[in-house]
Amino acid sequence: MKWSEVGTQACSVARALGVIGDRWSPLLVREAFGGATRFEEFLDGVGASRAIVTDRLAKLVEGGVFERKSYQDNPPRHTYTLTDKGRDLLPVLLTLQAWGDRWLDDGKGPPFSIVHDTCGHATEARLYCTHCNEPLGSDISGHPRPGSWARDRKRTKRRLRPRRD
Amino acid sequence: MKWSEVGTQACSVARALGVIGDRWSPLLVREAFGGATRFEEFLDGVGASRAIVTDRLAKLVEGGVFERKSYQDNPPRHTYTLTDKGRDLLPVLLTLQAWGDRWLDDGKGPPFSIVHDTCGHATEARLYCTHCNEPLGSDISGHPRPGSWARDRKRTKRRLRPRRD
């Protein structure tokens, strides 16, 4: 299977990766959450080459994550702002960040702390069950619906618990 | 900046992407949560080429996400199981999946539903504040600590709210 076909799998993880499953794209989204809107701000913030930033911004516009608007005609200049779909990526960034904080901090502690402004306290990205409000851990299972990628493969229930030796 | 340097940024998102910021790697982790342990199972589940699956599994072992163990000598065969660090990627997969469910379902509904086995109800990945238990939305801010990537750039507070036009 080629990568270009992965986004068509009936699996939401695969489809999501079809849009942001690139190494630089989530960093562009990170910069947008930090307030970047102009090309040079993304370039400065992400540190990739101009060609990569140009290409990835165009793909994220095409994928509906960013909206591109002209703010100057001569020379032509544009802003890139997150759409609703793009802003909805915040939980993905926060869980990525939390994982990096826990496992890749070089023993120096997280480089960045998150404050929940509404309550005024430091917080972490943690998932809770929307039904019972208990933390979600490995006590979950996945149930493929008709047409899903897992169902195609003749599995009717997917454990979400990895096997151990 | 080259991609190989991104994982060294003092930003947990960048560092996390240094380990799993590849298009295929999160799908290998998905397969492991679904119970895959053997090379052929990953190959079948992900649909990439043998060369890609071999390369990405080796990188994920190097990155501490998978543990590789021999289960047969002749011919040599190995299992790949998630480490604690690897299992801790579940929130990242669940938020990616939830985003794909909401925005990339082709109008057919999510291909996969998640059940919280402990309470027995369907659930979604949603983030709550670990302090006040309210849902975490855009009402958060980031505060770079000394040495962080954002601080290097002379910012002492990062909004996590994207600008609008």
The half-sphere exposure of B159 on its side-chain side, counting CA atoms within 13 A, is 9
Confidence at residue B118, expressed as pLDDT on a 0 to 100 scale = 87
Residue B102 CA to residue A32 CA, distance in Å, equals 21
Q: Let me know: does A63 contact A39? Beta carbons within 8 Å.
A: no
Contact state of B88 with A95 under an 8 Å Cβ cutoff: no
For residue B163, what pLDDT band results from cuts at 50, 70 and 90? low
* B69 vs A: CB within 8 A: yes
Residue B18, pLDDT score: 87
pLDDT at B103 over 90: yes
- B126-128 and B140-144 beta bridge pairing: unpaired
**What count of CB pairs under 8 Å joins A to B?**
348
Pinpoint the alpha helices (H) of chain B.
3-6, 12-20, 25-33, 39-46, 50-62, 84-87, 90-103, 149-152
- Rounded to the nearest 10°, the torsion over CA A100, A103, A106, A108 is 80
**Which amino acid is present at A116?**
H
Nearest-by-Cβ selection for A1 from B3, B48, B124:
B48
Confidence grade of residue B150 (pLDDT, cut at 50, 70, 90): low
First to last CA, chain B: 30
Confidence check: pLDDT of B38 > 90: yes
Cα B17-B23-B27 angle, rounded to 5 deg: 100
So what's the pLDDT on residue B162? Answer: 66
Contact at CB, B111 and A165, closer than 8 angstroms: no
User: What's the rounded mean pLDDT across residues A33-59?
Assistant: 93
Residues of chain A with C-beta less than 8 angstroms from the C-beta of B32 = 162
| Chain B CB within 8 Å of residue A61 CB | no
pLDDT > 70 in chain A, percent: 86
Q: Do B113 and A161 touch (CB under 8 A)?
A: no
pTM of the model: 0.87
The angle subtended at Cα A91 by Cα A88 and Cα A94, nearest 5°, is: 135
A4, A59 contact by CB (below 8 A): no
* Residue whose C-alpha is closest to residue B10's, from A95, A126, A78, A113: A113
| pLDDT (average), residues A76-85 | 95
Averaged pLDDT for residues B44-52: 92
Model confidence at B122: pLDDT above 60: yes
The structural domains of chain B, ordered by start, are: 1-88 (1.10.10.10)
The answer to whether A52 contacts chain B (CB < 8 Å) is no
Handedness of CA A48, A109, A35, B156 (dihedral sign): negative
Give B142's pLDDT tier (boundaries 50, 70, 90): confident
Distance from CA of A40 to the nearest CA of B (A): 14
**Within an 8 Å CB–CB cutoff, is residue A39 touching chain B?**
no
Separation of alpha carbons A42 and A27, rounded Å: 9
Q: Is the confidence metric ipTM above 0.85 for this complex?
A: yes
pLDDT band, very low/low/confident/very high, at A145 (cuts 50, 70, 90): confident
Q: Which residues of B touch A113 (CB under 8 A)?
A: 142-143, 145
Is some CB atom of chain A closer than 8 A to the CB atom of B99?
Answer: yes
pLDDT tens readout for residues A88-144: 999 999 999 999 989 998 788 888 888 888 888 888 878 888 888 888 877 788 777
Q: How far apart are CA A28 and CA B21, in angstroms?
A: 13
Q: How far is B55 from chain A (nearest CA, A)?
A: 15
